[in-house]
Amino acid sequence: MGLLLEGKRAFVSGGTRGIGAAICEVFAREGADVAFNFHSRPDLADEVRGRIEAHGRKALSFQTSVTDRYGMKHIAREILDAWGPINILVNNAAVNKADNFATTTDRSWDWVVETNVGSLFAVTKPFYKQMIRQKEGHILNITSVGAIRSLPTSVHYATSKAAMIGFTKCLSREAANFGISVNAIAAGIFDTDLGNTLPGRLLQMHEFWVSKGRLGKPSELAETAAFMCSDRNSFMNGEIVIVDGGAVT
């Protein structure tokens, strides 16, 4: 069998760090041209583009916020002009802040919810419209087990990730009419900048909590993402796949 994503064109939000960077590299290894956006650190964007191109694939990067609706429309048009329509969209970008609900400020709540939920509209809509015209595509949303289980994470983060599950399930039914699948991965705790913002006591307990006994590697989630966005995954739609190392429920 050939590469999972041979000839595909993907856009990954938040592609310079952790899970996003790993998805960009694995997708390129599996045959996709990959574009991504980032908020800061152009040096990291250069590194990720280099990894994509090392696999013989094309790469584009854009320093644009995932909450910038005009900017995301511009990115979608620019990629369309350069490569043609996107086949794969991965909504990966997210933020978190260690907060107790009683002391969460208005600013902190708005920042987390607007970034993690507002970006779903800003990023998805322009690429979704391209997919509708082509009558094919895969959308993958990276949510969290914190949206499903009672974990000691921040309430605003868990709320935003639960909203992503509702977004996935509802959009999947509409999108199926156009040959588009919409699924999500509920990620456990991975060795990323975001994962390491969790309370220290939770990270210490993690090796006992999951059967694998360690943090996940971003590349491990990226391997699952590649299959879920491939045409070999032809009958899954509206599903939330948990990748968490076998956590006790």
Q: Which two tokens stand for residue 186?
A: 């509920």
Instruction: Cite the active site residues.
Output: 157
Lateral strand order in the sheet of 33-38: 59-63, 33-38, 9-12, 88-91, 137-144, 180-187, 240-243
Chain position carrying tokens 């960009």? 24
67 Cβ partners below 8 Å, 6+ apart?
Answer: 114, 115, 118, 119, 122
Phi then psi dihedrals of residue 184, to 5 deg: -145, 155
Strands 88-91 and 137-144, by their bridges, are: parallel
d(CA 35, CA 231): 19
Question: Does residue 7 contact residue 31 with C-beta atoms inside 8 Å?
Answer: yes
Residue 92, amino acid? N
Question: Does residue 172 contact residue 183 with C-beta atoms inside 8 Å?
Answer: yes
Mark out the alpha helices in the chain (DSSP H runs).
18-29, 42-54, 69-83, 106-113, 119-134, 155-176, 200-209, 218-228
Ramachandran bin of 137, using left for φ above 0, alpha for ψ from -120 to 50, beta for the remaining angles: left
